[in-house]
Structure 1
Amino acid sequence: MKRFVIAAAAMTLCAGGAMAQSHQAGSHNPAVKNGAPHTIAAPAKGANSFTEDQARGRFAKAGYTGVTKLTKRDGLWQGSAMKGGKRATVMLDYKGNITAR
């Protein structure tokens, strides 16, 4: 009987720990990273490890065409591109986020 009570108590503690680890909606650090490019208001500063071809691919994946004048400055890939019939200055930060102006 004593072993049964101890085992039941141990299982209850383990179940409580599992509940505490559940995914919360809107988490800023999800367990599974979404690889799709995101458009944000301001680029994050940091060292960028994307190659020029990877940067062009991210812009294309986000719907930009005709990417020109692509250069890397201050950790950001910057260039000019078309989307929706409008030309914009586009930037790709080290996180893979796109900013357009």
Structure 2
Amino acid sequence: MSRTLLSAIALSLATTFAYAQTTPPAQPPAATTPAMPAPPAASTAPATPPAINTAPLEPGANSFTEAQARRRLEDAGLSAITDLAKDDQGVWRGRATRNGTAVAVGLDFRGNIAAQ
């Protein structure tokens, strides 16, 4: 019986030491989200429209489409744009209304706008 008792005590002590050496499972780190920068605030102020020049337009290889040329002219304050076509020098030319007056307009490859 003493041998059984000694075996039970030895087994009990062995499991106690083994338990004492076991480290508890680590807690997973708290989920943290890196700080994301806020999206830029939308500007409600209108952009400065392109200026209408009186200087001559420069000939050159114009890559604007008709829709882009029309949009630039409209952004410059011109309305009722008609007869818009690219001439042989690469300048978009047409007719438009500016401040209630009919004018001839042009748009060169640099985006310069002229109205006469």
Q: Is 2:104 the counterpart of 1:100?
A: no
Contact 1:38 1:96 in 2 (8 A): no
In structure 2, how many angstroms separate the alpha carbons of the residues matched to 1:76 and 1:87?
Answer: 19
In structure 1, how many angstroms separate the alpha carbons of the residues matched to 2:49 and 2:76?
Answer: 8
User: TM (normalized to structure 2)?
Assistant: 0.55
Alignment length, in residue pairs? 68
In structure 2, how many angstroms separate the alpha carbons of the residues matched to 1:44 and 1:35?
Answer: 22
Gaps of 5+ in 2: 1-46
Q: Is 2:86 the counterpart of 1:81?
A: no
1:1-101 paired onto structure 2 within 5 Å: 36-40=49-53, 41-73=55-87, 74-101=89-116
Q: RMSD between aligned alpha carbons?
A: 1.7
Gaps of 5+ in 1: 1-33
Larger Rg: 2
Q: Aligned letter for 2:91? A: L
In structure 1, how many angstroms separate the alpha carbons of the residues matched to 2:50 and 2:105?
Answer: 12
Q: Aligned letter for 1:57? A: R
Taking only the aligned residue pairs, the percentage that are identical comes to: 44
In structure 2, how many angstroms separate the alpha carbons of the residues matched to 1:36 and 1:46?
Answer: 23
Contact 1:67 1:82 in 2 (8 A): yes
User: 1:30 matched to which residue of 2?
Assistant: none
How far off is 1:39 after superposition? 1.9
